[in-house]
Chain A
Amino acid sequence: MPATTPAIRRPRVSASARREWLTGYLFVLPAALIIAVFGIFPIGYAIYMSLHRWRIRKGAFVGLDNYLSVVGDWWGALAFFGGLLLIIAAHWLWVDAFRRDDGTVALAGRLLGALVLLGSGVAVSLGWRLMTAEGDRRFLQGLTRTVYYGFGSVPVQIVLALVIATLLFQKLRGQELFRMLYFLPYVTPAVAAAAVFRNIFSPRPERPANTVLEWLGLPTQQWLFETRPMSQVLFGGLLDRLGIELSGFWAGPSLALVTVIVFGVWTYTGYNAVIFLAGLGNIPKQLYEAAAIDGATRVQQFRHITVPLLSPVTFYLTVLGFIGTFQAFTHIYVMRAPNTRDAVDTASIVIFDTFYGRNNFSLAAAQSVILFAIILILTLLQNRLIGRRVFSD
């Protein structure tokens, strides 16, 4: 990334070079100071806070107690996080470990990889069960909702954005107008947009979302007030008749959370499309021309030129999207309905509530440190799993 220039080695530093250094440090100082004080130092201080009892005022040192009350069970947490890291190991075994041999050794490596992956799945789910039994349910459920939110919004907005970008890229008239309109939600203040969404997806029958449903001949919904999981809302009758009872993670997100996901998709699709559009512009035209001469169809060109050459952009947008999911706050905070308090509370909302609503500063700090650790692991995982398949020149 940074263009490193080999420093010219001199036996001693001249006065002018030292003045140059001083100028450099002085130029960097204001920015570095602000970022250090308000961006870096708080991480250390959050860890410090999490090791004390701290409700509004600082109390006694309690070691890891706050973490224990979040994760519930050390062994469960160990199994859970170890399981996540095992996925990386499994991938390494599958792809890299025996790359050079292509015979029985490679096969054995792959089998071992599959086995490790299976083991990591068992560890993650077992660890999670142990954690939820004893731990901070609000926070752990918040994490589950964050996972729903990420997997529900990021792939959707990326696919939609890719479609929009490819359509726009065909030199249609009005390309700029469309680009502008699609991008608009991204710059709109989230508080205002969420206030609008609250009214569109209100449970009242005369509001837009329910009006549309009625117009389509479908039953009206509670939307942001709906705490039942989607599987119940959509197939409740069918599931009851079949005697299937889905619970926990597999029952799916609540309709309220799905509404929040719709907001996320609405906000970021246009942004992703603009980035994709720029990425499409960077693909050399000659590639398509050569492929056309070789008789490749439009679909084949898309599959074998556009998709692989856009993969760095896709990767960037995926990482950005998931990090954004963990950070998402404003629109969820504004959209959450007072009487379904935690139906849409993702991890960051829970942290804020622990701090602001319950005044338990140290627990909120511990929760935020754990969230930070998860983001770090996820970034590593994504680098490993997706970064590998990304086309790079």
Chain B
Amino acid sequence: MTEPAAVRRQAPAEPVRAKAAAAREPYEFRLAHLPAYLALVVGAVVSMSPFLYMVSTSLMTLGETINRRLLPATPQWVNYRTAWSEADFALYFRNSVIITALVIVGVLVTCTLAGYAFARIRFPGRETIFLVLLATLMIPGTVTFLPNFLMVRGEVIPWGSWLNTLPALTVPFMSTAFVIFLFRQFFLGIPHELYDAARIDGAGHLRFLTAVVVPMSKPVIMTATLLTFVSSWNEFLWPLLVTTTPKWRPLGVGLYTFISEAGPQTHLLMAGAVITVLPVLLVYFLTQKQFTEGIATSGLKG
């Protein structure tokens, strides 16, 4: 009935980290830290410079963009309105929000179910199926995009063409082996006794999953949501292929088409880039701690 190794490996992770944080001594500045700070600041400035350039240029006039100005004399907020209306960013933005939301819901539903089954339900072939799914992480997207494109055009399975429809942009992404893996690892750490107790109360797996497991799993659900949000929002190759009209075109592809439309109007292009980047950065800043920690721990286990 027990799964000793996995549980033991999982369980102590949280308390140990909490203890380490609590035991951190008060900071005391030492001169020896100065070179480290200097190096870190220089590195941070270099890695931030594209963002600074983007924001600064997006607020310039056309004249300022070609005159080596570091900052605009007066910020031209109107650039955002111009870009927003010129490239139909409103439509792209709406599309991106809908696509990302649907993909997140899909991933959470399918991967919670599968992760739970792989962790808790015993059925023949469980390990094999899990390993096969996990192996798909190694398959490069460059191999799958071509057959998938024919598939959504209805040339492989005769279900009609999905081009320029919402399902084409969402369904293929509604499950990933990585998130299944994340959920499975987390669910393995939930004590068996809880399930036994629920069972005595007459609850089946689905009841137990929705009433007990899911409320307990907020951290991993958060991590999965954030990872899915970023990858879905940033997806490019696939939406480029399956949206031939603007109808369901997401922001990334919209920005790409805007690159040629904007031409030499760098300030408008940069405003478009800010519009594309801003939602991700906002979500990232708000959830930064869970985000990086989720990635760090999940990355290490993967």
Do B259 and A334 touch across chains, with their CB atoms under 8 A apart?
yes
* Candidate in A35, A361, A364 with the most chain B CB atoms within 10 angstroms: A35
- Asked if B218 CB lies within 8 Å of chain A CBs, one says no
Q: Which 3 A-B pairs have the closest CB atoms?
A: A24-B123, A278-B296, A27-B117
Do B48 and A184 touch across chains, with their CB atoms under 8 A apart?
yes
- Asked if A313 CB lies within 8 Å of chain B CBs, one says yes
Docked complex: A258-302 residues within 8 A CB-CB of B: 266, 269-271, 274-275, 277-279, 281-282
Do A184 and B51 touch across chains, with their CB atoms under 8 A apart?
yes
Which of B37, B116, B156 contacts A45, CB < 8 Å?
B156
Do A42 and B143 touch across chains, with their CB atoms under 8 A apart?
yes
Do B68 and A28 touch across chains, with their CB atoms under 8 A apart?
no
Not counting A42-B146, A46-B146, A189-B251, a sample of 19 additional A-B residue pairs whose C-beta atoms are within 8 angstroms of each other reads: A3-B188, A20-B122, A23-B123, A24-B123, A28-B129, A31-B113, A31-B180, A41-B147, A173-B29, A176-B289, A185-B50, A187-B230, A189-B236, A190-B236, A196-B53, A266-B47, A270-B47, A278-B297, A371-B140
Docked complex: B114-165 residues within 8 A CB-CB of A: 114, 116-118, 121-124, 126-127, 129-134, 136, 138-151, 156
Q: Mark A30-51, 1 if CB is under 8 A from B, else 0.
A: 1110110111111101100100
Docked complex: A291-331 residues within 8 A CB-CB of B: 313, 316, 323, 326-327, 329-330
- Asked if A195 CB lies within 8 Å of chain B CBs, one says yes
Bound CA span A7–B128, Å: 14
A372-B140 contact, Cβ under 8 Å, with A46-B147, A179-B292, A269-B47? yes
- Asked if A369 CB lies within 8 Å of chain B CBs, one says yes
- Asked if A368 CB lies within 8 Å of chain B CBs, one says yes
Query: Chain B contact residues: over half helix, strand or loop, or mixed?
Result: helix
Do B273 and A196 touch across chains, with their CB atoms under 8 A apart?
yes
A selection of 19 A-B contacts at a CB cut-off of 8 Å is A3-B4, A4-B127, A20-B122, A27-B114, A31-B175, A38-B171, A40-B132, A43-B144, A171-B25, A172-B36, A176-B288, A181-B44, A206-B68, A208-B53, A326-B140, A330-B252, A348-B140, A361-B146, A368-B146
- Closest chain-A Cβ to B143's Cβ sits at a distance in Å of 4
- Interface-facing stretch out of B74-82, B83-91, B277-285: B277-285
Which of B49, B68, B277, B292 contacts A188, CB < 8 Å?
B277
- Closest chain-A Cβ to B83's Cβ sits at a distance in Å of 12
Which of A172, A182, A206, A323 contacts B33, CB < 8 Å?
A172
Do B144 and A46 touch across chains, with their CB atoms under 8 A apart?
yes
Bound CA span A189–B254, Å: 12
- Contacts of B67 on A, CB cut-off 8 Å? 206
Do B300 and A189 touch across chains, with their CB atoms under 8 A apart?
no
- Closest chain-B Cβ to A362's Cβ sits at a distance in Å of 10
- Closest chain-A Cβ to B178's Cβ sits at a distance in Å of 11
Do B144 and A189 touch across chains, with their CB atoms under 8 A apart?
no
Do A178 and B44 touch across chains, with their CB atoms under 8 A apart?
yes
- Closest chain-A Cβ to B183's Cβ sits at a distance in Å of 10
- Asked if A21 CB lies within 8 Å of chain B CBs, one says yes
Which of B3, B25, B281 contacts A3, CB < 8 Å?
B3
Do A189 and B27 touch across chains, with their CB atoms under 8 A apart?
no
Do A27 and B116 touch across chains, with their CB atoms under 8 A apart?
yes
Q: Mark B264-288, 1 if CB is under 8 A from A, else 0.
A: 0010011011101100110011001
Do B47 and A185 touch across chains, with their CB atoms under 8 A apart?
yes
Bound CA span A284–B33, Å: 23
- Asked if A355 CB lies within 8 Å of chain B CBs, one says yes
Q: Mark B243-265, 1 if CB is under 8 A from A, else 0.
A: 00000000111011001000000
Q: Mark A163-179, 1 if CB is under 8 A from B, else 0.
A: 11001101111001011
Do A27 and B237 touch across chains, with their CB atoms under 8 A apart?
no
What residue of chain A has the Cβ atom nearest to residue B126's Cβ?
A: A24
- Contacts of A191 on B, CB cut-off 8 Å? 234, 236, 252-253, 255-256, 276
- Contacts of B259 on A, CB cut-off 8 Å? 195, 198, 334
- Contacts of A40 on B, CB cut-off 8 Å? 132, 136, 139
Do A28 and B3 touch across chains, with their CB atoms under 8 A apart?
no
- Asked if B57 CB lies within 8 Å of chain A CBs, one says yes
- Closest chain-A Cβ to B51's Cβ sits at a distance in Å of 7
- Asked if A219 CB lies within 8 Å of chain B CBs, one says no
- Contacts of B156 on A, CB cut-off 8 Å? 45
* Candidate in A45, A179, A347 with the most chain B CB atoms within 10 angstroms: A45
Bound CA span A188–B277, Å: 6
Bound CA span A353–B250, Å: 22
- Asked if A193 CB lies within 8 Å of chain B CBs, one says yes
Which of B49, B57, B110, B255 contacts A30, CB < 8 Å?
B110
* Candidate in B47, B277, B281 with the most chain A CB atoms within 10 angstroms: B47
Which of A188, A192, A271 contacts B295, CB < 8 Å?
A271
A199-B270 contact, Cβ under 8 Å, with A35-B175, A42-B143, A172-B33? yes
